[in-house]
Structure formats: structure tokens, C-alpha cells
Amino acid sequence: MKFRRSTSLVILIIASSLGARAGIPAGTHATVRLNTSLSSATAHKDQAWSGTLTHDIVAHGKVVAKSGEPVRGKVTYVNRSGRLHKPGELTLRLTSVKGRIVYSSRVTRQGKSHTTSNVTKIGGGAAAGAVIGGLAGGGKGAAIGTVAGAGAGTGVAAATGKEEVTIPSESVLTFTITGSK
């Protein structure tokens, strides 16, 4: 009788320790709050970041990671903003939850498009040039002023046009776990 009880106890301990070491199942969502701010202007590929879980992660009816537990991740892609096109872009992945290695979906954030800003600056410059040229030299002056104004507007757009993306500290992001160890 003692042998059965001891064997049952050993099996129970082994089973519970295996359950505690079991990974987070694929398809599980992990919502995290960033501890650091990230920007496409300064971040680099493989840069580490940290955060905390905002909700418990439950697998098979059991909590495998509690809200507030530490998480780690890395920047997997950075695209710095161009001046007239190509807004900044950042892609992040989750690499560990509560010290356990995980693989996750990526979360990508992109800066706002240059199009509206560029059209406003270039078009505004062209319109202002046309008005000034028209007043100074009639129809021919308006045509010359339009070209000159558009050129000036393009210069302004190029000088002020970077559209980097920033993910502020305390931002909440949701990753989907694709595997774990």
C-alpha cells in the first residue's frame, strides 16, 4: 500500500513538473505592454526590448503566465524614412514569456504616408508661385512662377519630409504565439 502511494506521489510530481515546463501552445495570444520606446529613426535590427503581460495566458484551462510577468522581444526589421517617399517602418517579435523561449507572429507599425504632406507642400508652392508670377508678369509670369513655386515646394517637402514611426513606451501590442520551447 505504501509502495502504491509513493509511486502515485512520484507520478503526480513528475506530471506536474512536466506541465509546468510545457510550452505555450501555438495560437495563444500574448498581449504585452512595452517598457521602452522604439523609433524607426534610431532602432536597429535585433535590438532587444522588454515589457510585461497585460493579461494572463491560459492554456488547457491553466494559467501558464500571469499578467505582469516579464516578456522580451526583438526588432526584426527597421526601415528608416525617406524624405519624399517610404515612411519609417518597424517590425517586432516576441522572444520570451516569463523566461520561456517563444516564437511569435510579427507586429509591424509604419509611419504616416508622405503623399498628403508632399501634395500640400508642392501644390501650395506651385499655386503661390503662379499668383506671384501672374501679378508680376501676366500669363507668362504665372507659368514661370508655377514651375518655380513647385520647385520650392519640393525643396520644402524634402527638407521636412521624414515620416518615422515611433512606438511609445507603455504601448500595448498583441502577438500570436507560433511555437515555444
The residues, any chain, with a CB within 8 Å of residue 45's CB and separated by 6 or more, are 75, 76, 77, 78
Strand partners, 170: none
Q: How far apart are CA 144 and CA 140, in angstroms?
A: 6
Locate cell 510550452: which residue? 23
pLDDT in tens, 23-43: 799 999 999 999 999 999 999
> Cα–Cα distance between 162 and 17 in angstroms, integer?
52
Domain boundaries, the chain: 2-114+161-180
CATH of 2-114+161-180, one of 3.40.1350, 1.20.120, 2.40.128, 1.10.260: 2.40.128
CA distances from 140 to 58, 90, 126 (A): 73, 48, 14
pLDDT bracket for residue 173 (50, 70, 90): very high
pLDDT in tens, 140-160: 655 664 555 445 544 544 444
Tens digit of each residue's pLDDT (9 = 90 or more) over 54-96: 999 998 899 999 999 999 999 999 999 865 567 899 999 999 9
Rounded to the nearest integer, the mean pLDDT of the chain is 76
CB 15 within 8 A of CB 172: no
